[in-house]
Chain A
Amino acid sequence: MALSMLSRKPDSGLGNIRASPGSPSRNIDWILLFAQGALAIIGLFTIYSASYSKFPNPYLYVTRQEIFLIGAVITMIVVMSFDYDWWRERARFLYGTTIMLLVLVILVGAISGGARLSFDLGPLKVQPAEFAKFTALLAVSAFLAEDRTDTLNYARFVKGLLLVGVPTVLVIVQPDLGSASVLIAMMMGVLLIAGAKAKYILLITVLSASTVGAAVVSGVVNDYQIDRITVFFDQNSTDPALRDLVFQGRNSLRAIATGGIDGKGWLQGQYTNSRDIPVQWADFPFSAIGEQFGLIGCGVVLGLFAILLLRIWRIAGLSRDMLGTYLCAGVFTMVLWQMFQNVAMGIGLMPITGLPLPFISYGGSSIVTFFALIGLVQSVHMRRYR
């Protein structure tokens, strides 16, 4: 597109004004889209390989994921077709709705694994924590962009902190420490770009840690989450209560390690084909990739993430205003943190949490959310000339 603009003869007039080189529809970041699509397709294969041998219908999970993907693409198209400023104008409404939903889910949400994470709407389970990633980002970015300054005074910092802190605490109370950590990462990223001093970042860290600590002590956090931390510090525990967690982590590590350089081959992974890694299609897709495709496969996936992050980072710099930069920075840190957390827990570097691998893991909420977030980034890119 850009090339056609350059080759256009100077004397050909203005041409079709709607096909201007600055038109949003002509400024989609295709490389970002490609990386994202590649990851999603790799995800489909991974989900199939990790679930086909475990259910009577081998396509059960992959089919569902395809439906989710279609939904996610539609969501992304909707998000990117609006100017992100249009989204900013609705930030207050979206944010308020999210807070309401978070309170509601704590009160009436479906019980799943001892935690109240989602509304059960028949075939769909809706997790408000996923909405929060989108709306809290929108809200804090909008607030910070109100004042056209690149320094962050204490009052602004505290307000920004509160904007993200309220939904974060509600998510911790659910309790969903994984999602909360994503919100915290996002807050750090946005505030960093907004000019937060190092001591502010430190304060966020301390606040987060003490909130989580208080939640653990007060018994809001259930035993299962505590067990995960325990297992992380004693990965060879013989306590029968921790057995499943120990095996889950150990088997994931072994699956990846035994993959070697070039992997065992598509559908040839003993661990991936077995039930040794529970819910592998959602929690440990990276171990399936590592076992079947080895270091090369892992490298490709990490490379695609790197490209994706690089593109988001680039867009953050290209943004026409600070709002776009903040939005991109938030998406950047969320993708980075969640990707790192999921991959690292599969190789024993981080405790096991339920955080899915963005774009790859099975799960409707996750895939829709990340596609929507990328949609925001695309919106920033598309409208950088406006």
Chain B
Amino acid sequence: MAGRAGRAPYGPLADNNGAMAIDKRSTRLGVLALISMLLIGAVGTRLWFLQGVEAASYQAKVTAAKIRQVLIPPERGRIFDARGRIMADNQRILTVAIDWSVIKKPKARQVLFERLSGPLTVPVIDLQRRYEPCFEEPTIPKCTKGQRYSTLLPLPLKEDVDEDTVTYLKERSEDFPGIQIVEQWKRVYPYAPLAGHVVGYLGPITKETVQQYKAKNYNTNELVGAFGVEMSMEDVLHGSWGKEVFEVDAAGGIVRELLDEHVDPIAGQDIQLTIDLVVQQYAEQALETKLKQRRNLPTDLLGQDIAAHNPIDPKKAPSQERVYSSSKEFGTQEWIQFKAPAGSVVVEDYSNGQILAMASYPRFDNRWMGAIGGDKFDQLFGEKIDPTTGKADPDKSVLVNRAVQGRYNLGSTIKPFVAWSAMHSGVIGANDIYIDRGTYKLESIPDDVCASGVRCEFKNATNVRTQRSSSYGPVAVADALAVSSDAFFYRLGEMFWMIDEHNAVLDPALKGKSTLKEGLQRFGFGAETGIQLPFEWNGRIPDDAVKKELVDNEVLGKNEEPRLLVGDNVQAAIGQGLMAVTPLQLTNAYSTIANGGFLRQPTIVKNILEPLVPDLSPGMADLSKAVIVLSFDAHAYKDQLEMPPEVYEPIIGGLSRVTNAGGERSPGVTDPSGFYHTTTGEKLFETYPMNALPIAGKTGTAQGAGSYPWNDSSVFGAFSLDASAPYTVVAYLEKSGFGSKAAGPVVKCLFTALAGRTFMDPVLPSDPLDLNALEPAPPTQLADSSCMPAAVDARD
């Protein structure tokens, strides 16, 4: 090892072969010098590039980092009803946030969060997950690591904190370093759950829509309209973001605001709807009251037509036929209550297309959205499982506005439009008489084909009293509408089918006439109405292409012909089979008859107003101070249907006889045997104040699965005959029985109320949302249901 003392003295090497050694030493030193030059050269070159060449671009980068932009949220436009009631409002809320810098260290973060957990009543783990989404959650696969909150703004810990908590935190600011109180907007719905489907709600921007919102300068973590008017009018309501730009020092402290760059936020425009909340509330109450009545019909009133009407014939069960007998005909039998799960009511002003009320049941309180999540949300709004089938039950889905999304058969309520199409096309004349013998046999199919099993006979509905298919004798258009003669319209269905060139044309006189589809399209069926609501369904009028598509998509069985058969058209003519519409389309179609042929676009928005309409009183906006930006108040009609008196009068006449608007003793039809057939609404409207507001209408009973009576859906469409109160009302109650028994009374009650003969409850701001509730919306009912007794004797 080093220093073996006493050995040779350490002198120069030169005494040996010194010259060579010196040479080698200098060579090796040269290598060292070379290495040092290389290293210093590398550093020097890099410095030259950094400081000499790239300095400017780095400076630009650094300058950008020294500017902090704070976005100022715009106040979202508010939504009023027609009278100015504030249906969607904004509330300033206080949010507790914390500077990122004070919670950078895990220990400090844990201590602070533990301290804050109590006052904020938020578990520590939830606070940790705001900082780090995957905190102590390694097993959950959907946990994404990305930070949800902007690191430029303080980390929000709890939204909507009450004043007491804020005071508590502020008083102890030395215990809570870095805590900031931030003001934010929160959407509130003072009258929820009224018109929940119409107003809609807000939701986060989804993956699918994020690009489109980014293009509109949205902040990706803001809430946007996700349903109803909130969604369809998002662009109007949103407003635009403002910003404050600050120059900050390297520690992040604000040096000054760059006032040149300041942009004030622009509040969103307010919206006045056409909805009148008083009528809306009444419609929702009437609908729910009636549906619940139909679910709980009395079973003890034997032999009376007001009892539950769905006995199962034990000899035939499971019955393939409709059973109309009252219970006395069978010994013991099981009663099946109507399911009556859902429904819809639409009230329209037929003079201008404005929707006064649009109810959809089941209702929901739009304050749930954003207030809850996860399991509770699934429990309230997730798929409801049908206990008998074990599958999801679409009848009970909540987040569907059935008025524009429902896909419904119309039943007999389609008949006025088929009648108009037939008369307009010239298939029949107003006074042509058809002799209704209770059944209709197809003419276009030869007898031998019929004998081979093809269905050629179509029956009228069975009369409750006679237990046989009603046979009305000679009827014209008006009579057929009044008593709802199916045979009359079956025949029209076949005649329309024969117009089509490649179907057999028996009668050359039919050639070239307009078809049923063309007629129905004039009323707006088969196309979106264009109302300002999302997810509207366009409806379906059957033709070859539609049927082929249904067969291809396996909606219909594979053995079905992929083209329209005569039977399909015959069914369509009485509103069954493939014909399907939304309640709103039906309403607007009745309005088109009511106003003498003007097809309008229904609208739910009355006016778009300048932002920040002031309040008049709590819950009311002062519309007198509102400035209208865009009005939908008196927009033009889209189409004018030809309604000469010879076409118009039989239709109006027939529909007036249904409700017996004329107050005649026998508005129905007496058949050749002398039997008097009442009109479908005659009994129902006996108690209606026809003098106060005369109305005409039509019942409909849409047959459901298996044609079981308990699957019948109830429809009624009616309109005022008084132009000073221009209302059309349509009610559709799923699986609730005859048109005159469920939907009819709802419409009747609404007209009674619109006529001023029933008191409609005043509308009051609602109670706070009960977060423990088990239903999406609290139950409601008519205060006075005398206009709709639980059971009514009437028939289809």
Contacts and interface: CB of A to CB of B under 8 A. Distances in A.
A320 interface: yes
A139 B28 contact: no
B1 A321 contact: no
A322 to B, nearest CB: 6
B61 A254 contact: yes
B1 to A, nearest CB: 6
Given A148-B13, A322-B13, A142 B43 contact: no
A316 B28 CA distance: 11
Contact of A340 (B5, B13, B40, B58): B40
Nearest to B13: A148
B47 interface: yes
Interface in A225-247: 240
Given A271-B250, A321-B13, A332-B32, A260 B2 contact: no
B8 A148 contact: yes
B779 interface: no
Contacts of B47: 256, 290, 295, 298-299, 302, 347
B692 interface: no
B44 interface: yes
A294 B61 CA distance: 18
A298 B25 contact: no
Interface stretch (A25-33, A58-66, A102-110, A187-195): A187-195
Nearest to B56: A260
Interface residues of A, number: 64
Given A195-B28, A274-B249, A347-B46, A143 B1 contact: yes
Nearest to B44: A302
Interface stretch (A67-75, A83-91, A125-133): A83-91
A289 to B, nearest CB: 11
B686 interface: no
A298 B45 CA distance: 12
Contact of B58 (A143, A159, A258): A258
A145 B4 CA distance: 11
Q: Choose among A91, A95, A258 the residue with the greatest number of B CB atoms under 10 Å from its CB.
A: A258
A290 B250 CA distance: 18
Contacts of B723: none
A90 B4 CA distance: 11
Contact of A146 (B7, B35, B46, B132): B7
A332 B3 contact: no
Contacts of B666: none
B495 to A, nearest CB: 73
Contacts of B10: 85, 88, 145, 321, 323
Interface stretch (A8-16, A40-48, A305-313): A305-313
A76 interface: no
Given A309-B36, A320-B12, A329-B32, A193 B25 contact: yes
B301 interface: no
Report whether over half of chain A's contact residues are helix, strand or loop; otherwise say mixed. Answer: helix
A146 B4 contact: yes
Contacts of B646: none
Contact of B31 (A88, A146, A192, A305): A192
B29 A317 contact: yes
A344 interface: yes
Q: Choose among B29, B42, B47, B62 the residue with the greatest number of A CB atoms under 10 Å from its CB.
A: B47
B2 A142 contact: yes
B250 A150 contact: no
Contacts of A313: 29, 32-33, 36
B16 interface: yes
Contact of A270 (B21, B25, B250): B250
A185 to B, nearest CB: 10
B442 to A, nearest CB: 74
Contacts of A294: 51
Q: Choose among A150, A253, A309, A325 the residue with the greatest number of B CB atoms under 10 Å from its CB.
A: A150
B58 A254 contact: yes
A290 B51 contact: yes
Given A146-B2, A274-B249, A347 B29 contact: no
B25 A347 contact: no
Contact of B2 (A143, A257, A290): A143
Contacts of B249: 270, 274
A150 B24 contact: yes
B54 interface: yes
A371 B59 CA distance: 38
A258 B48 CA distance: 12
B24 A195 contact: yes
Contacts of A90: 3
B251 interface: yes
B52 interface: yes
A290 B46 CA distance: 12
B445 interface: no
A261 interface: yes
Given A88-B3, A270-B250, A257 B29 contact: no
A141 B54 CA distance: 45
Report whether over half of chain B's contact residues are helix, strand or loop; otherwise say mixed. Answer: helix
B4 to A, nearest CB: 6
Interface string B249-272: 111000000000000000000000
B783 interface: no
A298 B40 CA distance: 12
A322 B40 CA distance: 27
Contact of A329 (B21, B29, B39, B132): B29
A349 B25 contact: no
A379 to B, nearest CB: 14
B152 interface: no
B137 to A, nearest CB: 16
A276 B253 CA distance: 13
Given A85-B10, A302-B40, A329-B32, A142 B52 contact: no
B627 interface: no
Contacts of A343: 43
A267 interface: no
Interface string B59-102: 10110001000000000000000000000000000000000000
A150 B48 CA distance: 40
Contact of A333 (B1, B32, B50, B62): B32
B3 A340 contact: no
Contact of A192 (B28, B44, B50, B250): B28
A90 B300 CA distance: 119
A344 B3 contact: no
Contacts of B8: 148
B53 to A, nearest CB: 10
B707 interface: no
Contacts of B780: none
B11 interface: yes
Given A146-B4, A257-B58, A317 B39 contact: no
B25 to A, nearest CB: 6
A150 B59 CA distance: 54
A329 B12 CA distance: 17
B11 A321 contact: yes
A226 to B, nearest CB: 19
B3 to A, nearest CB: 5
Interface in B156-214: none
Contacts of A89: 3, 5
Given A146-B7, A317-B26, A347-B46, A254 B62 contact: yes
Contacts of B250: 270-271, 273-276
A150 B28 CA distance: 11
Contact of A298 (B5, B11, B32, B51): B51
26 contacts: A85-B10, A89-B5, A92-B3, A143-B2, A146-B2, A146-B4, A150-B21, A193-B25, A193-B28, A253-B58, A254-B62, A256-B51, A258-B58, A259-B51, A270-B62, A299-B44, A302-B47, A305-B40, A306-B40, A316-B29, A316-B32, A317-B26, A325-B29, A336-B36, A343-B43, A349-B42
Chain A to chain B: the 5 pairs with minimum beta-carbon distance, closest first:
A274-B250, A142-B2, A257-B58, A260-B55, A295-B51
Given A88-B2, A257-B51, A329-B32, 7 more contacts: A92-B1, A146-B7, A195-B28, A257-B55, A260-B56, A270-B250, A309-B36
